[in-house]
Chains A and B, each alone.
Chain A
């Protein structure tokens, strides 16, 4: 397992991981601070979103507490041309690629199903059906190769694809088919599996008999396991394998061992299926505290942490107010994007709905 930062926040590189450490050597203090700021931002966002759900302001929340290092680290390991295909818990990866956090809250408030521009942001829409997005990522990567955008040694134009999924999703056939298609086509793609140990109430042992990083081997996709609560490992391993994919090395699988500290979603009660002792074990491996310890050892002063805490309070207030202000979509929204070209049923039913609503007169708007 690749680990560059021990749970006690001690930086150390085992000999066999020195090629990954080269990526850390290139980081500046400003990069470290950015990493920490975004991990803290992700956690604060998560806590606030959970509170909003509890107050009935969101229909659902999908917490990612505990997975900050896996997501912020790997998110920053993805290059500025690369395309990202997330599942539905990648709030941290979204932060690293400039997705407006309100786009995520909009979905969970029930305003829309996504609706940001995937081609422009390079961060594709959240995918609710497990594993579905991994095939899209694989097809996208096939297209990137057909476009000749791989292996030119041109960092400005070459690109690779990364797809995120969880341990539970690996049981889906779409993941196996993705490995196969990517291997056969030697596609520029990194599969990033966050093994957070639980698929709702099912432990990872009910999804796999072999370590997940080995799952690709039979398809021709080599893999590695990393400490997913170590942001430096997550960053370096993602960056290196995205570089290699861009250079034409073919597909690669990263299994980030992490832990879902909270529930699967706010609809679930994890105390029913897992031991408090297990949660305590992982609390001691908290990715945010680990990196904080590291930074303090590096001599980062308290002022910085105070400033981050203050920014968190500000973020909370902002998203709370913005959530309250989100308008419900107009009824046309339901019909507008079903087809890209006119369709008689859509036109007919929308016209009927307008007429029906008009029949209520002013009462329709009360």
Chain B
């Protein structure tokens, strides 16, 4: 019998970090306000009390410095986990991530692997001020050398953070911040699957919805509503957005013939663009309708009073389901 506990996503990440830090003193956790406070979302709460300054410490408010020194620490044999406090604050570090972190393994012809994890709370839905609700994952998915993953539930959160830390490649770990408090069972004994595999969360026969991170709960809700109306929807949690597990999507589309890709990020040149292009190429003769996309509008993330309009909800997904079925 496996050992299950009920945890929130935030607590599950915390537990995963704790396990890695216990098992390997070279695992370091740092970023803005992550030590005594436990981070603004309390994801690292209690870790400083347990591990002290040697393994977890506050960084100056300088994101390029946080990532740049993480790279140097990795060169020295450490396994740094750096927290970027909010999605919209990652851009001062964009250069270090894209020109250095992603490329050093390549530049050094394998001599300098980069076992660095960048943790980023991302996405909207918390009524925040500007720059606190963004979805910048596509910028990083576009960059060769990085791996980009995002859990949607506590069990994945617990295991995927550990898998990210174990990876010798740099991993951008996007945490769905509006789901931090969502609880669920965590299997403490064995990981559910590899970190780069998609998972079919709900079986269906008529339409496939592929999504990730904070939108997984929305897609499941849409599937539930549709089921009440007699429609059968399959839901796939991509889990990894670089690489993307296309095989799982293709297999689903072979069954349903219809695909909708959903995310919070603006749709123009986004993860859904890539999935749509790829599925058109690989499953052309299985498609009964064009791949449809449901995402944020192509505007800057709006002021909080409008975020409910910006963020796709179950109705927006169902509208796409109707359009797909109308073909």
Task: Give the B-binding residues of A (Cβ under 8 A).
Answer: 112-120, 124-125, 129, 132, 134-144, 146-147, 173-174, 177-178, 180-181, 184, 336-341, 343-345
Residues of chain A within 8 A of B70, CB atoms compared: 139
Can you spell out 10 A-B residue pairs with CB atoms less than 8 angstroms apart?
A115-B111, A116-B108, A124-B75, A125-B112, A142-B72, A143-B76, A146-B54, A147-B76, A174-B96, A339-B145
Residues of chain A within 8 A of B99, CB atoms compared: 129, 132
Contact between A118 and B65, CB atoms less than 8 A apart: no
> Once the chains are docked, how many angstroms separate the CA of A73 from the CA of B18?
47
Residues of chain B within 8 A of A344, CB atoms compared: 243, 246
Residues of chain A within 8 A of B68, CB atoms compared: 132, 134-136, 138-139, 174, 177-178
Other-chain residue from A117, A338, A341 in contact with B106 (beta carbon distance below 8 A): A338
Contact between B108 and A181, CB atoms less than 8 A apart: no
* Most chain A beta-carbon contacts within 10 A, residue among B67, B68, B75: B68
| B305 interface residue per 8 A CB criterion | no
Shortest distance from the beta carbon of B248 to any chain A beta carbon, whole Å: 12
Which residue of A has the minimal Cβ distance to B74? A139
Residues of chain A within 8 A of B76, CB atoms compared: 139-140, 142-144, 147
Which residue of B has the minimal Cβ distance to A140? B72
Residues of chain B within 8 A of A336, CB atoms compared: 109-110
Contact between B108 and A114, CB atoms less than 8 A apart: yes
Contact between A337 and B110, CB atoms less than 8 A apart: yes
Which residue of A has the minimal Cβ distance to B53? A146
Other-chain residue from B54, B60, B67, B169 in contact with A340 (beta carbon distance below 8 A): B169
Residues of chain A within 8 A of B103, CB atoms compared: 113
Other-chain residue from A116, A141, A177, A339 in contact with B65 (beta carbon distance below 8 A): A177
Other-chain residue from A134, A142, A144, A184 in contact with B60 (beta carbon distance below 8 A): A184
Contact between B60 and A181, CB atoms less than 8 A apart: yes
> Once the chains are docked, how many angstroms separate the CA of A116 from the CA of B112?
10
Contact between B111 and A339, CB atoms less than 8 A apart: no
What 10 A-B pairs are tightest by C-beta distance, nearest first? A139-B72, A135-B68, A143-B76, A139-B69, A177-B65, A140-B72, A115-B109, A136-B72, A340-B168, A113-B107
Contact between B71 and A181, CB atoms less than 8 A apart: no
Contact between A118 and B108, CB atoms less than 8 A apart: yes
> Once the chains are docked, how many angstroms separate the CA of A134 from the CA of B109?
21
Shortest distance from the beta carbon of B94 to any chain A beta carbon, whole Å: 12
| Number of residues from B at the complex interface, CB < 8 A | 42
Contact between B107 and A114, CB atoms less than 8 A apart: yes
Which residue of A has the minimal Cβ distance to B65? A177
Which residue of A has the minimal Cβ distance to B110? A337
Residues of chain A within 8 A of B112, CB atoms compared: 118-119, 125
> Once the chains are docked, how many angstroms separate the CA of A340 from the CA of B71?
16
Contact between B73 and A341, CB atoms less than 8 A apart: no
Within 8 A of A (CB), among B65-88: 65, 67-78
Which residue of B has the minimal Cβ distance to A163? B72
| B92 interface residue per 8 A CB criterion | yes
Residues of chain B within 8 A of A124, CB atoms compared: 75
Other-chain residue from A139, A144, A337 in contact with B109 (beta carbon distance below 8 A): A337
Contact between B60 and A135, CB atoms less than 8 A apart: no
Shortest distance from the beta carbon of A156 to any chain B beta carbon, whole Å: 18
Contact between A135 and B71, CB atoms less than 8 A apart: yes
| B322 interface residue per 8 A CB criterion | no
Within 8 A of A (CB), among B147-185: 147, 167-169
Residues of chain B within 8 A of A112, CB atoms compared: 109
Contact between B169 and A174, CB atoms less than 8 A apart: no
Residues of chain A within 8 A of B309, CB atoms compared: none
Which residue of B has the minimal Cβ distance to A112? B109
> Once the chains are docked, how many angstroms separate the CA of A344 from the CA of B60?
37
Residues of chain A within 8 A of B113, CB atoms compared: 340
A113-B107, A115-B111 provided; 15 other pairs, C-beta below 8 A? Answer: A113-B103, A114-B107, A118-B111, A119-B111, A125-B112, A132-B100, A135-B96, A139-B76, A142-B69, A144-B76, A174-B95, A178-B68, A181-B60, A340-B110, A341-B168
Contact between B60 and A177, CB atoms less than 8 A apart: yes
Residues of chain A within 8 A of B59, CB atoms compared: 181
Residues of chain A within 8 A of B144, CB atoms compared: 338
Contact between B72 and A135, CB atoms less than 8 A apart: yes
